[in-house]
């Protein structure tokens, strides 16, 4: 596609919003689902924008797309315009006492699957016109999304390393060694050396659970390379299914296996050298970005939550340095 850009008419703001969504999702189908539009409609709008500027915005490689140089430039500017438009709408709704719109958040497996649903349920009862969208990923992906503006709030299982973020530990958890109940005959605690002989399941790089485990091992002059790792899996659900299938044992969030332990499908085995390995779960925001009214109300609901399962509630505020 060639030709000089046409500047005779203004760019449709809706096209910019659609473009930004496709860029962030990296996929036409996911963007269509997020915007509640058909995929052909999304494709037509992107084509119209490319025609307007006279240049491709995405390289289409089979089922995958990657932004061109022009696409990168447009996203850097277009995102600011989209966010400004949303800020105007939010401000007017707030002024008129109408809380509505969308609140987009990112969460790692444990907070996203085992804590947030309760909070979101109560929040929806109080604010039914605010649509909450939670995207599940590993902790590193969530932090990246908060920094680049895809998520207004992030929830992660380890303290972020990136500077300048506003953090609050909103819950605590503990990491435990979980095994399949069937076939586990040992009683009592095992040693770290015993653990090194077991087939071990671990999470992928970027996972908060793995990050916390590796920190502890480093402090005790050990590393995952010392263990009999049989599989690296990309979600808590996959780890749990592998444990129940007796593929191996895993260090996992106690919150994530509480139901399986109660039902007798899994056991928690103490490791003498580890003892109680506690960790905080963090909510993360980027203070450089203007808070929408929906975000402010949700953070208030999060602080006031009264029935989170298991972890002690903490009220600590900090900024990464």
Inform me whether the pLDDT recorded for 214 exceeds 50. yes
Average pLDDT in the chain: 85
% residues pLDDT > 70 (the chain): 89
Q: Which residues make Cβ contacts (< 8 Å) with residue 94, sequence separation at least 6?
A: 293
Q: Report the C-alpha gap between 218 and 275 in whole angstroms.
A: 16
Inform me whether the pLDDT recorded for 123 exceeds 50. yes
pLDDT given for residue 80 in this prediction: 84
* Overall average pLDDT of the 205-212 stretch: 89
Inform me whether the pLDDT recorded for 314 exceeds 90. no
Inform me whether the pLDDT recorded for 307 exceeds 80. no
* Overall average pLDDT of the 93-115 stretch: 82
Q: What is the pLDDT of residues 243-288, one digit of tens each?
A: 999 999 999 999 999 999 999 999 999 998 887 789 999 999 999 8
Where helices occur in the chain by DSSP H, the ranges are 13-25, 28-35, 39-53, 69-95, 109-110, 116-126, 139-147, 192-197, 208-219, 236-244, 254-263, 293-303
The gap from C-alpha 104 to its chain's centroid, in whole angstroms, comes to 11
User: Confidence band (pLDDT; 50, 70, 90) for 318?
Assistant: very low
Of 43, 16, 135, give the one whose Cα is nearest residue 32. Answer: 43
Give residue for tokens 């972890």: 311
pLDDT given for residue 321 in this prediction: 45
Domains of the chain: 13-91 (1.10.10.10), 99-321 (3.40.190.290)
Inform me whether the pLDDT recorded for 134 exceeds 50. yes
Largest CA-CA distance found in the chain, in angstroms, rounded? 78
């Amino acid at each position: 596609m060639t030709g000089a850009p046409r500047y005779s008419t203004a760019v449709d703001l809706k096209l910019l919003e659609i473009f930004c969504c496709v860029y962030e999702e990296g996929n036409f189908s996911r963007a269509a689902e997020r915007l509640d539009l058909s995929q052909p409609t999304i494709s037509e709008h992107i084509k119209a924008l490319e025609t307007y500027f006279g240049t491709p915005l995405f390289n289409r490689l089979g089922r995958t797309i990657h932004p061109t140089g022009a696409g990168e430039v447009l996203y850097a500017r277009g995102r600011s315009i989209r966010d400004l438009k949303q800020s105007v709408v939010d401000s007017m709704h707030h002024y008129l006492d109408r809380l509505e719109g969308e609140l987009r958040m990112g969460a790692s497996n444990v907070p996203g699957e085992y804590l947030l649903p309760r909070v979101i349920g109560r929040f929806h009862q109080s604010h039914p016109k605010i649509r909450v969208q939670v995207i599940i990923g590993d902790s590193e992906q969530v932090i990246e999304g908060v920094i680049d503006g895809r998520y207004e709030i992030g929830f992660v299982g380890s303290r972020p390393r990136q500077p300048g973020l506003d953090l609050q530990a909103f819950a605590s958890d503990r990491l435990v060694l979980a095994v399949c109940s069937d076939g586990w005959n040992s009683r009592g605690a095992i040693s770290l050396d015993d653990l090194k002989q077991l087939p071990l399941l671990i999470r992928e790089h970027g996972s908060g659970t793995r990050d916390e485990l590796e920190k502890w091992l480093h402090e005790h002059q050990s590393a995952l390379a010392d263990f009999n790792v049989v599989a690296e899996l990309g979600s808590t659900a996959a780890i749990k299914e592998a444990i129940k299938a007796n593929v191996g044992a895993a260090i996992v969030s106690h919150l994530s296996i509480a139901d399986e332990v109660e039902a007798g499908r899994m056991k928690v085995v103490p490791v003498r050298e580890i003892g109680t390995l506690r960790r905080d779960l963090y909510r993360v925001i980027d203070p450089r970005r203007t808070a929408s009214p929906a975000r402010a109300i949700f953070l208030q609901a999060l602080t006031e939550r009264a029935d989170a399962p298991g972890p002690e509630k903490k009220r600590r505020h900090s900024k990464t340095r």
